[in-house]
Amino acid sequence: MQAELEVLKRAFARRTEKMGKMPKIARPPRTPAEIAERRTEQALLRAEHIVTEEKTEPVPETLKKCHLCGGTNFRSVGTGKPSEVYSYVPGYFRRVVHTREVVACRCGGCVITYPSCQPRRDSVEQAA
Ligand SMILES: [Zn+2]
C-alpha cells in the first residue's frame, strides 16, 4: 500500500515536472509531415494578424550600365526577386514583400538585380 502510494507520487511528480518544463509545446514534431503541419498551423494563425504590403523595387536607371558592352538598353527579366520583411506593429504583424526588379542587357551578358535588400524601415514607414 505504502509502496503503491510512493509509485503514484513519483509518477505524479514526474508528470508535473514535465508539464513545468514544457508549458505549451507538448512535444517537438518528429516527422517532416508533422513539422510541415505545424508550420502550416502557425502560418495560418499568424496570417490572421498579418497585413501584407507589396512593393516593387525597379533597378535605378543609373545602375543600368552593362559592364560588358557598355550598353544601357536593359529589359526586365521574370517577375523579380521577392524578399519578405516582417515587422510588428502593435496589434498585428506587417509583412512587406519587396520585389526587386531583375534586368538583363540586350547583349545577354549582363544581368542586374536591384541592390540587395536591407530592411529600410524608414522609407517603408514614410510610404505607408
Ligand atoms: Zn551588354
97 in Cβ contact with 55 (< 8 Å): yes
Residue 76 located in a structural domain = yes
Report the separation in Å between the CA atom of 97 and the middle of ligand 1, taken as the mean of its atom positions: 29
What would the pLDDT profile of 3-16 be if each residue is shown by its tens digit? Answer: 666 766 776 565 55
- Number of domains, the chain: 2
Report the separation in Å between the CA atom of 113 and the middle of ligand 1, taken as the mean of its atom positions: 14
Domain boundary among 48, 68, 86: 48
Domain residue limits at 56: 50-119
Report the separation in Å between the CA atom of 118 and the middle of ligand 1, taken as the mean of its atom positions: 27
Per-residue tens of pLDDT for the chain, all 128 residues:
666 667 667 765 655 555 555 555 566 667 888 888 887 777 776 666 778 888 888 999 999 999 999 999 999 998 888 888 888 888 777 888 889 999 999 998 999 998 865 555 544 444 43
Give yes or no: residues 54 and 115 share one domain.
Answer: yes
69 in Cβ contact with 75 (< 8 Å): no
Give yes or no: residues 38 and 24 share one domain.
Answer: yes
Helix (H, G, I), strand (E, B) or coil at 120: coil
